[in-house]
Structure 1
Amino acid sequence: MEPKNQTAVSEFSLLGLTDDPALQPLIFSLFLSVYLVTILGNLLIILAISSDSHLHTPMYFFLCNLSLNDICLSTSTIPKMLVNIQTQDQSISYAGCLSQACFVVIFVVLENFLLAIMAYDRYVAICYPLRYTVLMNSCLCVLLVLVSLCISISDALLHTLMLLRLSFCTRLDVPHFFCELAQVLRLACSDTLLDNVLIYVASCIFLGVPLSGIIFSYTHIVSSVLRMSSSEGKQKAFSTCGSHLTVVTLFYGTGLGVYISSAVTDSPRKIAVASVMYSVVPPMLNPFIYSLRNKDMKGALGKLISRMISLL
């Protein structure tokens, strides 16, 4: 292939999930529905928490940030895909592709940190209930979110700046429905060893450390709950962690599925289909998990919907 300097690259092509034109309307309808459900569900969570003073606690503050992050993650990928299908144009500009890759990294890394912070919040609530309000004060909660956001942005910008130095080949087809960092790197003609090492190191740190924190928190939570003499106390403790543990299992389970699929198959299109599971499915299901398994959220959502109906 004839290399082309990155300054001459004007656009990439997003090949999407299938080449079959007959399936495009079905994919458009499916992803449009998923996107609308994701936005509506997470917005309801945010509005319910904001409007109910009983939910102004650290746990729901972090849940509110998680919902906002899920909205941003879905918005960074799905709308461009829908526009491309509707216009029958697979192109995305060079700046747009790099920006999309950057935003996806930001929100995926931030999701990891938020899930780890929420696990730590449950750890403090169950293992140190008498000191909970002191340890999880409002300043610390805001600081944890801001630090996580700064780390996520710094990591994403570093990967994006590394992409800017690369030269790309003449064939710029991304076998995906969005510009995933790893897929864009495969199109480069220049040496990407440093980029791949950086991705590996960053993944170990920014994915491994939060996951280790979650495992540490739940190990101590289970240990504390098993030492409780009251069965009612055990049930209450597990119920407060059930929703979060389900979301954690969904997020990391789908991520592991993508990793395994990329290891056992050489088909980029199959990997793209698998990537839907971690980039699209968790943001859509998270609001349902928290609203269906949490009595306080059910009550807050019921009040919010009742007020909205009364205003119509």
Structure 2
Amino acid sequence: MSTETLVRPAGPAPRRDREREREKARGASTTPGARLRLVLAHVCIYIAALIFIAPLVYAFFSALKPNSEMFSMPPTLVGSEIRWSNFVDVFAYGPFLTYIMNSFIVAVGGTLVVLVVSTTAGYAFGRLRWKGRDAVFVLFLATLMVPAEVLVIPMFQVMQWFNWVDTYQALILPFAFGAFGTFLMRQFFRGIPYELEEAARVDGAGPVRSFLQIILPLSKSAVAVLAVFTFLSFWNSYLWPLIVTVDYNAHGTLPVGLASFAGLTGTRWDLQMAAAIISMIPTTVLVIVLQKHLVKGIAMAGLGGR
């Protein structure tokens, strides 16, 4: 046995092994069966994307039709004329800009409150040790089984007691303390190694400092997921704003404003479609901007934060 065989450098060997594994993977992916599975997977993805996009495309072109052609038979994708003015007439038909601003105030304010409450409560349930923690968390989690429609009347009575009917705080606070966000953040926090927090405590950091400087920076993806879900929930909420709002022109939100295009003299379907397309722009931009964090956060939350 030669000296070359006995003395082999330790560095390049793992690298060569990794290169061989990559070559094997490339070879396996070029087999006819692998190529067929790849093609079928892409075809299924394209079909699913087409199914989801088709209603949005039809709604967009419907927003450009004259109102008299909305239900023409046979149905057509494009009307006899393209009316871009429908998107301008939406703002002249009613206080649509006020609806947008109110929805922004409610959605952004509600999202901020939910993020603060859910992250702090999730940290208390997931990282801190105190007597009765698990029992309280089970009771808190049980509130998810109560339908929101059941709570409408009690919440409205509470808003009356506080004299908050037809105010922004009535639109934001009742649904800002739900258990879903706390459960999501707790599961993510439990997956963060405890050694990081213990090392910070050795250096003199308390629970608040550990939470702000260690736990939160490591949880950006989970916070992004919760922020998007919460923003969409407040943005699309219809029943509660419809009940707790009295002056719709002053405090009405977008879902309530969309319903205002249906009146006693008829429904302006063309303007309603245009308004619906406009209302989807902020949420679409938000999802596109946070897409990277959403994918990472959902994957890590599904694995318990690991």
| TM-score between both structures, scaled by the size of structure 2 | 0.30
Structure in which a larger fraction of residues adopt helix: 1
